Amino acid sequence: MATAQLVSVEEYLHTSFEYDAEYVEGRIVHRSLPQLTHSDMQGNLYAALRGVVRSSGFRVWPELRIRTRSDPARFRVPDLCVTQGKPAEETLTSPPFLCIEILSPEDSALELRMKIEEYLAMGVDYVWVIDPVSLTGEICKRSSTPGSAPAKSASTSPSWTEARLRGLPAT
């Protein structure tokens, strides 16, 4: 059985990857290769969100690296994230408002669950998981009770997106 070679955080942060990779406790985790439906969804969501949130002081970022844990170190790269204003750092160490993961055929359910839990545990308010084929999604919200499971719901309403990002009640 082959064993994976562990790399340091410094090596990870100073290595260029053809498609940005994530870092989980010394292991480099390669992300799925981009596919047309995934890229199309990412571009459409970026454009739609950017148009909605800009006037509210939020910013949308494609594939911005986030340090979700320090010890042991974990870095994730969501497909999109939304921050309040422009971050002061290249790699986020404070939680964005929203992380969006767009599904790819190679994605593992277990790996996806781990990412969602990491985002919410670090303080991300919302995580969206979008299926670009069925055009459906799941919304996970950070619980106010430590240790409890995240609240989940499904929505396809564009008005929900706009309302939440503007701080208004969802319709």
Fold of 34-67+74-165: tt1808, chain A (3.90.1570)
In this prediction the pTM is 0.81
Residues 33-78 have pLDDT tens digits of 778 999 999 999 999 999 899 889 999 999 999 999 998 999 999 9
Domain boundaries, given as residue ranges, for the chain: 34-67+74-165
pLDDT tens digits along 81-127: 999 999 999 999 999 999 999 999 888 899 999 999 999 999 999 99
Q: In what side-by-side order are the strands of the sheet with 151-153?
A: 58-62, 80-84, 98-102, 126-131, 136-141, 151-153
CA separation for the pair 60, 48 (Å, rounded): 10
